[in-house]
Amino acid sequence: MLPYKTQPVLKERIWGGRRLLHYHKFFEGCRMGESWETPLGEQGIRVLVKLLDSDDVLSLQVHPDDAYAQKHEKQMNGKSEMWVILECSEDSFVIHGFAKPVHREELLMHIEKNTLESILNYVKVRKGDCIYIPAGTVHTLGKGIVAYEVQQPSDLTYRLYDWGRTDGNGKARELHVEKALEVMDFGASQPEIRNIFDMKPQKGLNLITCPYFCVTYYAYDAGARVEMQKARPLIWSLLEGSAAILFDEGIIHAVKGDTVVIPHDYGKSVHIDCQQDIKCIESIA
């Protein structure tokens, strides 16, 4: 199978906005929250890459690990994920776990009294921040953020809290408190944050290496021609600029927001021809 540019699947979300238009995702309407960049179920593709636009804060949520997903949801894997903040407001934040350790009874009390927000760990973010969210971490993406996400290929999400939000019919979205309590980490959380824009790593900056994926960031000047990693399958996403992906059988033109897959059985070299200064991310699983 030859390298190819993916066809994104756009998802309307109650918290979505219109900034994915800036990443060449074309749609009607005004609340597009997610662009799923990689195909699910294709042989060898064991990560799901997304672009997210949070015009409003997402629900407070937690994802199960593999063991829980297999035992209780009859799915192959749970969901650990990572974000790279591509755009954000000056006061943007994410939530990553709790400010201090809590126990189940205390958490239930805060839910009952509607004071859950007081015990969460709010983390201020800036453009370029990279944050890892392992399965079991209570988390959410705050308002005013565009994020690049790499995750295990699962959409298992247990909502713990939704900020009193209702849909167009005045109906609250379903919560999954009991399941969330079964899978969450009750300890305090302080994520290690790296910022991709603090450096220009011609040889690559490893952002995350975990049991599920390895994510590396690159920045190249216009006119550079560089070889991609040889690991396969490889997911390559262009965050800024424009480039051509060169391989023996053809060429793929890529612009900001595009994702290219180098399939698991493609054994030849692939090169990036940088038509502008570019920033890109390569992921393997």
- Which of the residues are catalytic? 159
Q: Which of 260, 265, 225, 279 is nearest to 6 (CA)?
A: 260
Q: Are 247 and 268 in contact (CB under 8 A)?
A: yes
The tokens of 105 are what? 């009874």
Q: What are 26's strand-pairing partners? A: none
Q: Which of 33, 8, 82, 40 is nearest to 260 (CA)?
A: 8
CA end-to-end distance (rounded Å), the chain:
18
Q: How many CB atoms lie within 10 A of CB 90?
A: 7
* Burial category of 70 from C-beta neighbours within 10 Å (exposed 0-12, middle 13-18, buried 19 and up): middle
Sign of CA dihedral 210, 198, 232, 52: positive
The tokens of 240 are what? 């800024």
What count of Cα atoms within 13 Å lies in the side-chain half-sphere of residue 139?
Answer: 25
The tokens of 207 are what? 């952002």
